[in-house]
Every structure is written in C-alpha cells, then in structure tokens.
Amino acid sequence: MIKLTSMMAEQGKVIAAICHGPWVLCSTQALKGRKATCFFAIKDDVINAGGKYVDAEVIRDGNLITSRKPDDLPAFMQTIIQAVRELKPALATAGR
C-alpha cells in the first residue's frame, strides 16, 4: 500500500485520506511541505512527516485531499469529485 501511494503521489494522481488514513501518507513523501488535516490523535505524525497541519473539514493541496473524521464526509466527497472532474479533460486528451 505504501509503494502504491508513493507511486500515485509521484504521478500527480488524486490521493484522498480521511480520519486515520493520512497515517499511510506519513510513510511516503506525499505530505512533505503540503497542507493536510487528519484525526487529531495523529496530528503530530502528520507534522513529523513534513505536513503542514490545518484543523479544517477538508484540505485540498493540489492532488492531495484530506479530512478529519466521518462527519466531514460530505465536504470530503465533494472535493474528491471536483478533483476527479478536473482530471477528466486531461485524461480524455492524453490518449490522442
């Protein structure tokens, strides 16, 4: 899972993590210098991995999307949908 996540981050693909999900990101370079949020109990791990912790419902920093808890799911999902829609035109022209 860590290798897959690292590869996706390097390729600029959308990466979304909620609650304790950013813990996986802590073992990659995906958080380094990027804004992110997470469940409060792993905030220090995100910071130690080089992330810039923000206590917010959802944080999008480029291709990285993070949220704190299940209560944030509506905003989290809306942000993921928006990010994927933005990628869709690029994917459609990539095959040409």
User: Annotated active-site positions, please?
Assistant: 20
List, in order, residues 6 or more apart from 47 with CB less than 8 Å away.
Answer: 53
**What's the rounded Cα separation, in Å, for the pair 21 and 39?**
9
E strands in 2-63: 15-18, 35-36, 52-53, 58-61
